[in-house]
């Protein structure tokens, strides 16, 4: 247990810390603060709320909701999820998280609307924003986070 070790095993050399990693984690923390869906304290259910939205919708790369067969077919490590704004922040935009665990690049057809990319884990500058129209290319073994609007 590292918590009980006060020696070289757990001491951190901050002078030689990976500043890119620190900046990336700080950027992820900022995204979490910005988007209430990333701070949820309840389990996501997929149930419809009073506004007719589900808290989560599983998204297929072909631009549709996932079906039961999709969970058992090829490329099971390629999926997206749409997170609706919570009841406590209805003005927040929907979020789209695209996940590619595969060794090849995957193109996702996006849900209708304008999307803004906020995080692309494979990029040299992973927290640079850019617009996306109808599709997004997701690099091998990476994740993208987008917001609608």
Average pLDDT over residues 12-23: 91
Whether 87 shows a pLDDT value over 90: the answer reads no
Q: Which two tokens stand for residue 25?
A: 């984690």
Average pLDDT over residues 1-13: 84
- Other CB atoms within 10 A of residue 1 CB: 5
Cα–Cα separations (whole angstroms), residue 28 to 21, 63, 120 = 11, 26, 11
Residue 62 pLDDT > 90 = yes
Q: Are 38 and 31 in contact (CB under 8 A)?
A: yes
CA distance 147 to 130: 11
Give the pLDDT of residue 146: 98
pTM for this structure?
0.90
Confidence (pLDDT) at 21? 94
Write the pLDDT tens digit of every residue in 20-57: 999 999 999 999 999 999 998 889 999 988 778 899 99
Helix (H) or strand (E) holding 32: helix 19-34
DSSP label at residue 37: G
pLDDT surpassing 90 at residue 89: no
Q: Per-residue pLDDT averaged across 134-146, rounded?
A: 97
Residue 95's nearest CA partner among 115, 66, 79 is 115
- Its sign, for the CA torsion 38, 40, 44, 47, is negative
Is residue 15 helix, strand or coil?
Answer: helix
Reported as a single tens digit per residue, the pLDDT across 100-130 is: 999 999 999 999 999 999 999 999 999 999 9
Inform me whether the pLDDT recorded for 9 exceeds 90: no
């Amino acid at each position: 247990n590292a918590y009980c070790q006060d020696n070289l095993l757990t001491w951190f050399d901050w002078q030689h810390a990976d500043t890119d990693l620190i900046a990336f984690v700080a950027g992820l923390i900022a995204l979490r603060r910005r988007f209430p869906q990333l701070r949820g304290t309840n389990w996501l259910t997929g149930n419809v709320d009073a506004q007719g939205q589900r808290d989560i919708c599983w998204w297929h790369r072909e631009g549709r909701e996932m079906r039961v067969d999709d969970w058992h077919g090829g490329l099971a490590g390629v999926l997206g999820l749409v997170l609706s704004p919570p009841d406590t922040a209805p003005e927040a935009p929907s979020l789209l998280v695209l996940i590619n665990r595969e060794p090849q690049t995957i193109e996702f057809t996006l849900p209708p609307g304008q999307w803004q990319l906020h995080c692309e884990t494979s990029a040299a500058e992973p927290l640079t924003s850019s617009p996306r129209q109808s599709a997004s290319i997701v690099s091998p073994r990476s994740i993208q986070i987008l917001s609608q609007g």
